[in-house]
């Protein structure tokens, strides 16, 4: 090799390293004081101090050890929720919600179809926002509420069994996006935004192009009944939302106050707004009958457009995205997206705003610059905020009170650190950070791009969920976690708040409908193995106990509609059975003490084997039987 070649080689290597560094970001260099954003002398000093500090947190969870937190991850266009252990980032379970799930039979079983209700025919969803019910601003471990942007629905998940127990289609609107819960005094309501504006009576009869008449509604839902309490018509569209800690106000961002129908129209105005909803006034208006109905349903729709007593519109810079309530209860933080700022709205000033003592902009106590593309903000227990910067691919850590002081005193530096993440973060979330119990331990950045962080798996890349230790003065990246499409949001709750059942309770409402049907058929599900013929309908009831079904053959006629109902008599934790009828596209989960049922047409003559497809016993392979189909 000539000297020239060697030099060229060295240059190539150097170039390659630089390229990789660009990809990897500058995380590793932060400690050396090299970051993309300009640093002040004060920041250098605090970084140096931080380097000397030990980190209390360890991300290592050894085999056999349990995680400290449950993370509930949105599955985005997968339509499901995933349970992730924090800090291990191990995926513990998936909860099918709006999707069809081959393993559990969600979307196929009669029990899940009953829960899906009028939208059971939809097999997809776009689930962005999982949020847990609260009591007095603290997680109570009861429910998770989630949205479906794709098919305009919301759903509730029971945290004692980690199954979806109710799905509700929202009328009068399109595309449910932002969703949060009432924090105080308890989650009586959860509420959600419709993102896309449509005509109020969307019957195709009025002018479809009268864009000015399109509206977007804020929907408030009774959390226990899973019924819509009321909707509020607004100006502009709605994006994300959050509640205060006083039980009085909900606030939503709006990014299309222009009522545009294409990109350039939607970003024309220099300012959009945050809409604040006054809960007591809305409830009073419903009581007083000051609402209208639309589209032939009886959901009360209040008029909360500009000038209404029910709402206030706070102008903020162009196209805000996330809105997050600080755990101090003092501020809503609206994230600028197209503006490098976040708008800090004083919740204490909202009473005066609603009593017309001050102007809407008077509630904005600071608008600090945090970086390019702020989307969402999370909080610790030390007064710091963590904002995702989509365009900068960074998390900006900043101090809320310092940012407010800096509003009048430019010498105050409120930025504590900017850390590169990989890459293009959407939401970020801190442990317990949307409650009074914010504990400042872990931050998760949900990155939209993973580029070269993982082994390549084809043109479709995984997302990258990054775990960041925030317990010290400096944020520290500790884990990259690839995730399938596409976590938007998550919430992390201490394990002490969650109590799950280990086996099913026989009286669980989850399968109560099936139990009632069996009773009508004179069946004791715990003992009976019987076939009931009802014309062309055949109902097969059987038990299962490892490694056998209570019945290993039954007879039907070609073309019969067959309903197989199985009760798992096993009482040992983890002994789940399955039922799969080969060549019929049918299968389901039956966990200990559960009853599950599925209905299909026996459309193939001859011998059709069914088998248990959840490995349950040494003789699991032998756990099968025959459906004899007479032609």
Which residues, in sequence order, are bridge partners of residue 275? 252, 313
Q: Which is nearer to ligand CUK, 300 or 374 (CB)?
A: 374
Cα angle 217-220-224, degrees, rounded to a multiple of 5: 155
Q: How far is the CB of 549 from ligand CUK (least distance, A)?
A: 44
Q: From the CB of 366, what's the least distance to ligand CUK, in Å?
A: 22
Where in 263-393 does DSSP place strands (E)? 271-278, 301-303, 311-317, 323-325, 331-335, 342-346, 364-366, 374-379, 384-389
What does the alpha-carbon distance between residue 101 and residue 95 come to, in Å, rounded to a whole number?
A: 9
**Closest separation in Å from C-beta 551 to ligand CUA:** 14
Minimum CB–partner distance for residue 101 and ligand CUA (Å):
18
Shortest spacing between CB 547 and ligand CUA, in angstroms: 6
> 148 pairs with which residues across the strands?
153
Pairing of strands 586-590, 384-389: unpaired
3-state secondary structure of 111: helix
Counting Cβ atoms within 10 Å, is residue 397 exposed (0-12), middle (13-18) or buried (19+)? buried
Within residues 472-531, the interface with ligand CUA by CB under 6 A covers: none
Site residues (CB under 6 A) for ligand CUK, limited to 225-244 = 240
Q: Rounded to the nearest whole angstrom, what is the least distance from the CB of residue 287 to ligand CUA in the complex?
A: 54
Site of tokens 């993309």: 36
C-alpha 605/C-alpha 610 separation (Å) is 14
Residues 606-625, interacting with ligand CUA (CB under 6 A): 612, 614-616, 620, 623
**C-alpha span between 497 and 96 (Å, rounded):** 22
Binding mask 311-340 for ligand CUK (x = CB under 6 A): ----------xx------------------
Q: Choose among 358, 313, 321: nearest CA to 338.
A: 321
Choose from ligand CUK, ligand CUA, none: what does 427 bind? Cβ within 5-8 Å by kind.
Answer: ligand CUK
Residue 58: other Cβ atoms inside 10 A: 9
99-138 binders of ligand CUK (CB under 6 A):
128-129
C-beta closer to ligand CUA: residue 505 or 574 = 574
Pull the structure tokens for residue 407.
Answer: 């509003």
Under DSSP, is residue 281 helix (H, G, I), strand (E, B) or coil?
helix
141 vs 426, beta carbon nearer ligand CUK: 426
Q: Pick one of ligand CUK, ligand CUA, none as the site partner of residue 488 (Cβ within 5 to 8 A by kind).
A: ligand CUK
Q: Which two tokens stand for residue 204?
A: 């195709």
Q: Map residues 535-574 to x or -, x wherever contact with ligand CUA holds by CB under 6 A.
A: -----------xx---------------------------
d(CA 341, CA 558): 67
Tokens encoding 31: 């400690």
Strand-pairing partners, residue 218, are 193, 232
Choice between 68 and 434, CB closer to ligand CUK: 434
Q: In the stretch 499-538, what mask flags binding to ligand CUK with x, by CB under 6 A? A: ----------------------------------------
Residue 302 touches which of ligand CUA, ligand CUK, none (CB < 5 to 8 A by kind)? none
Beta strands 537-545 and 530-534: pairing type?
antiparallel
Name the residue nearer to ligand CUK (CB basis): 128 or 273.
128
Q: Return the residue of 148, 402, 463, 489 that touches ligand CUK, per CB under 6 A.
A: 489
577 binds ligand CUA (CB under 6 A): yes
Closer to ligand CUA by CB, 554 or 614: give it. Answer: 614
Nearest alpha-carbon partner for 465 in 127, 99, 76: 76
Alpha carbons 576 and 572: distance in angstroms, whole number: 9
Interface residue with ligand CUK, options 427, 494, 497, 577 (CB under 6 A): 427
Between residues 177 and 577, which has the closer beta carbon with respect to ligand CUA?
577
Which does residue 240 bind out of ligand CUA, ligand CUK, none, counting CB within 5 to 8 angstroms by kind?
Answer: ligand CUK
- DSSP lists the bridge partners of residue 437 as none
Q: Which residues bind ligand CUA (CB under 6 A)?
A: 546-547, 577, 612, 614-616, 620, 623
Q: Which residues bind ligand CUK (CB under 6 A)?
A: 128-129, 177, 240, 321-322, 375-376, 426-427, 488-489
């Amino acid at each position: 090799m000539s000297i020239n070649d060697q030099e060229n080689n060295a240059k190539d290597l150097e170039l390659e390293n630089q390229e990789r560094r660009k990809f990897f970001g500058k995380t590793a260099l932060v400690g050396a004081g090299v970051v993309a954003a300009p640093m002040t002398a004060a920041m250098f000093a605090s970084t140096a101090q931080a380097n000397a500090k030990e980190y209390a947190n360890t991300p290592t969870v050894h085999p056999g050890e349990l995680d400290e937190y449950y993370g509930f991850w949105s599955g985005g266009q997968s339509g499901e929720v995933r349970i992730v252990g924090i800090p291990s980032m191990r995926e513990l379970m998936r909860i099918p919600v709006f999707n069809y799930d081959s393993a559990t039979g969600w979307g196929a079983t009669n029990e899940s179809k009953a829960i899906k209700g009028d939208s059971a025919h939809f097999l997809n969803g776009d689930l962005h926002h999982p949020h847990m019910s609260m009591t007095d601003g603290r997680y109570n471990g009861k429910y998770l509420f989630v949205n479906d942007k794709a098919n305009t629905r919301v759903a509730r998940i029971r945290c004692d069994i980690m199954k979806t127990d109710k799905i509700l289609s929202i009328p009068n609107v399109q595309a449910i996006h932002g969703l949060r819960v009432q924090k105080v005094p308890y989650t009586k309501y959860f509420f959600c935004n419709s993102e896309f504006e449509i005509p109020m009576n969307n019957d195709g009869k009025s002018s479809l192009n009268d864009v000015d008449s399109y509206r977007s509604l804020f929907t408030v839902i009774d959390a226990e009944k899973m019924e819509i309490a009321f909707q509020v018509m607004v100006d502009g569209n709605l994006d994300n939302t959050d509640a205060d800690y006083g039980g009085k106000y909900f606030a939503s961002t709006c990014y299309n106050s222009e009522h545009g129908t294409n990109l350039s129209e939607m970003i024309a105005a220099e300012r959009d707004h945050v809409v604040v909803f006054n809960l007591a006034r809305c409830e009073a208006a419903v009581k007083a009958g000051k609402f209208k109905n639309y589209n032939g349903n009886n959901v009360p729709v209040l008029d909360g457009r500009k000038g209404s007593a029910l709402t206030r519109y706070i102008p903020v810079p162009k196209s805000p995205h996330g809105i997050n309530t600080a755990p101090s209860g003092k501020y809503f933080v609206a994230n600028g997206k197209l503006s490098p700022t976040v708008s800090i709205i004083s919740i204490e000033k909202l009473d005066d705003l609603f009593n017309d003592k001050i102007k809407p902009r008077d509630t904005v106590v600071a608008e600090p610059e945090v970086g390019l593309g702020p989307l969402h903000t999370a909080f610790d227990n030390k007064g710091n905020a963590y904002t995702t910067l989509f365009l900068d691919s960074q998390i900006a850590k900043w101090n809320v009170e310092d940012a407010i002081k800096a509003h009048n005193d430019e010498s105050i530096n409120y930025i504590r650190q900017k850390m590169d993440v990989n890459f293009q973060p959407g939401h970020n979330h801190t442990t317990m950070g949307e409650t009074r119990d914010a504990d400042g331990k872990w931050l998760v950045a949900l990155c939209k791009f993973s580029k070269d962080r993982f082994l390549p798996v084809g043109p479709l890349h995984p997302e990258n969920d990054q775990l960041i230790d925030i317990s010290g003065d400096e944020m520290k990246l500790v884990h990259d976690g690839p995730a399938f499409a596409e976590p938007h949001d998550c919430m992390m709750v201490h394990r002490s708040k969650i109590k799950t059942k280990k086996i099913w309770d026989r009286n669980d409402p989850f399968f109560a409908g099936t139990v009632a049907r069996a009773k009508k058929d004179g069946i004791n599900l715990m003992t009976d193995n019987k076939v009931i013929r009802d014309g062309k309908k055949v109902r097969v009831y059987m038990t299962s106990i490892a490694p056998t079904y209570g019945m290993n053959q039954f007879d039907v006629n070609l073309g019969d509609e067959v309903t197989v109902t199985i009760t798992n008599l096993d009482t040992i934790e983890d002994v789940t059975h399955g039922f799969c009828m080969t060549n019929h596209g049918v299968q389901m989960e039956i966990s200990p003490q559960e009853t599950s049922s599925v209905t299909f047409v026996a459309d193939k003559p001859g011998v059709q084997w069914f088998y248990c497809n959840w490995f349950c016993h040494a003789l699991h392979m032998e756990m099968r039987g025959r459906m004899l189909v007479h032609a």
